[in-house]
Amino acid sequence: MRVVIGQGSCGIAAGAEKVRKALLAQNIEAELSITGCIGMCWLEPIVDIYDDNNELTRLVRVSEDDAAAIASFVTGGDKAAVEKLIVTEEDSEFLSKQTRIALRNCGIINPEQIDAYTEAGGYTALKKALGMTPEDVIEIIKTSGLAGRGGAGFPTWFKWNAARQSQGEEKYLICNADEGDPGAFMDRAVIESDPHNLIEGMLIGAYAIGAKHAVVYVRAEYPLAIKRLKNAIAQATEKGIIGENIFGSDFSCDFTIKAGAGAFVCGEETALIESLEGHRGMPRLKPPFPAQSGFWRKPSNINNVETFANVAWIVNNGGEAFAAMGTEGSKGTKVFAVTGKVKRSGLVEIPMGKTLRDVIFDIGGGMKTDKPFKAVQMGGPSGGCIPAELIDTVIDYKALGATGAIMGSGGMVVMDESTCMVGMAKFFLDFTAKESCGKCIHCRIGTKRMLEMLERITKGEGKEGDIELLEELCYSIKDGALCGLGQTAPNPVLTTIKYFRDEYEAHINEHKCPAGECSDLIEYKIVADKCKGCTLCARNCPVDAITGTVKQPHVINTEKCIKCGKCYQSCKFGAIIKE
């Protein structure tokens, strides 16, 4: 028997460490180990039990109070003790409907043991690659059609080949793990759950371009990822997989980790290089491109975590196998972090060519609330909102780009009718305005002016012509900004204006928020005929704005009300309405 506890950041946050300690206290006669995130975040903590025939029983939403029942099942086979914890067939479809390559080991192997990775076929691709020429390795990546998974979708082989052909003995291979999009956690999950897969992919990339130095730039807000990556590097070094003459070849490569301070702009490759060199993270003018002059002005190649996580699989299975999945212009699979108003939130990996409906409704289970699906934000602050009428849009770079959104790194925030689209645009503009490095005027000043206008509109202080002025600002910033942060910052505004212009007009002309989300534009009232006088709303009001006697209709003092919504949330009779 093996008892495996999911201990990614999401699992630990949900209480997985308490579960592990409670199970240890039971002194179960079974191997007790950990794994990373399987991607079923809404079901955490998760405990997987494998019997002697390796048959799996998955327990979900486990608490420390369930430890005795689990011990009874493991030691005596009493399945009734854990029946209420066993994952349902419906929830299991979340994984069965996916095609996992980058996430193939996540939530399955122990991320803290190199032997677990090698037993799963780890480092065989590196051995295979070292028996080939670097040019042959690049050709496999070219055949696969693998494009950068960080957002731009640039052909990976082209970047590798450019760095390979650049003159110079000293070259650098850099992994961009500075995942900063709100709602995105794909790269974190891969590093926490399968760090050796990242290392193997990077070593193959380093061999292909002729680099002897590999660097992982990871944000400091990912302490568990950094801890497990450091552990994996130490284990690989001890076994001679990192260092001099790897696997007896002429190839040598060292690994270092740089913990970034969490600046979103450092996701842009030249700003990342500036930060690596100890400078403030600000983009450089291109050309020269990093392949010619990158880290310390040496030829450098930068790809993100998910890109490297595909490399070992491609080398082992052939470029044709990867290219067989996806669409003509977008090959392979893509990982998405599905969050928001969806029933099954977590990590989803699907072949390119599936639709948004496939992810949100088939795999994600549809809306968490009874309210209709309204839109999905793709690509984070650099992306855009795709409305319900485009739910059958195919997931590939070209099709998503045609909507005004982008693939991005893979963030997918699902919204229902309760979401204000003007407020959503304001949320992302607030983020990008704060994260602007300030190097160019268009981004530094333009995003600030746009944010101020959106703040006015959501307060009911919008003016005629604001929408047109916003659009004019958007295009000026896109045309004039130096780097991708500024060039894509207007996307959430442009797409919400394009698809939800009526909401902007309602805010400006009627001083109303159709979604009832902008607090300055709503008013709470009690419908006397429905009020039972239970006093629950009055007891929950933090400013005593509700008065009335027991079993009699209550009244809200609108001048005193701070519009926190506590009364609306607490009323069990639907007597409180938003206007």
Q: What does the pLDDT look like over 522-533, one tens digit per residue?
A: 999 999 999 999
pLDDT tens for 448-460 read 999 999 999 999 9
Tokens, residue 44: 């955490």
Instruction: Please report the pLDDT score of residue 370 as a whole number.
Output: 82
Report whether CATH 3.40.1380.10 matches the domain 421-510: no
CB 177, CB 219: distance < 8 Å: yes
Name the band, by pLDDT with cuts 50, 70 and 90, for residue 150. confident
Distance in angstroms (rounded) separating the CA atoms of residues 69 and 17: 17
pLDDT at 550: 95
Q: How confident is the model at residue 78 (pLDDT cuts 50, 70, 90)?
A: confident
- What pLDDT sits at residue 262? 79
- Of 469, 468, 486, 485, nearest to 477 (Cα)? 486
CATH 3.10.20.600 domain extents, the chain? 333-416
- What integer pLDDT is reported at residue 76 of this predicted model? 82
| Per-residue pLDDT tens over the stretch 286-337 | 999 999 999 999 999 999 999 999 999 999 999 999 999 999 999 999 999 9
Sequence-distant (≥ 6) Cβ neighbours of residue 441 within 8 angstroms: 480
- Give the single-character DSSP code of 383: S
Domain with CATH 3.30.70.20 in the chain: 523-578
Packing angle, helices 156-165 and 134-144, rounded to 10: 160
All CATH 3.40.50.11540 domain ranges of the chain, comma separated, are 114-323
Cβ–Cβ under 8 Å, residues 335 and 351: no
Whole-structure pTM value = 0.93
Residues with Cβ within 8 Å of 321's Cβ and at least 6 positions away in sequence, in order, are 314
The answer to whether residues 327 and 319 touch, using CB atoms and an 8 Å cutoff, is no
CATH class of 523-578: alpha beta
**Whole-number Å distance between alpha carbons of 218 and 176:** 7
Collapsed DSSP state (helix, strand, coil) of residue 58: strand
For the domain bounded by 333-416, which CATH number is listed?
A: 3.10.20.600
304, 417, 498, 510, 578 from 514: Cα distances, Å: 39, 9, 17, 10, 10
Check whether domain 114-323 has CATH 3.30.1490.20, yes or no: no
The 10 Å CB-count burial string (b at 16+, else e) for 268-298 is bbbbbbbbbeeeebbbbeeeebbbbbbbeeb
Beta strand 300-304 pairing with 172-177: parallel
Domain with CATH 1.20.1440.230 in the chain: 421-510
Q: Boundaries of CATH 3.40.30.10 in the chain?
A: 2-96
Q: Are 500 and 426 in contact (CB under 8 A)?
A: no
Percentage of the chain beyond pLDDT 70 is: 100
Q: Residue written as tokens 């797409």? A: 495
> What type of residue sits at position 496?
T
CA-CA-CA-CA torsion sign (482, 483, 488, 493): negative
Q: What is the pLDDT of residue 242?
A: 98
The helix/strand/coil state of 124 is: helix
Output the six-digit token pair for 308.
């490297």
Query: In which residue are the tokens 């302490």 written?
Result: 223
pLDDT given at position 423 = 96
Superfamily of domain 2-96: Glutaredoxin (3.40.30.10)
Per-chain mean pLDDT for the chain: 95
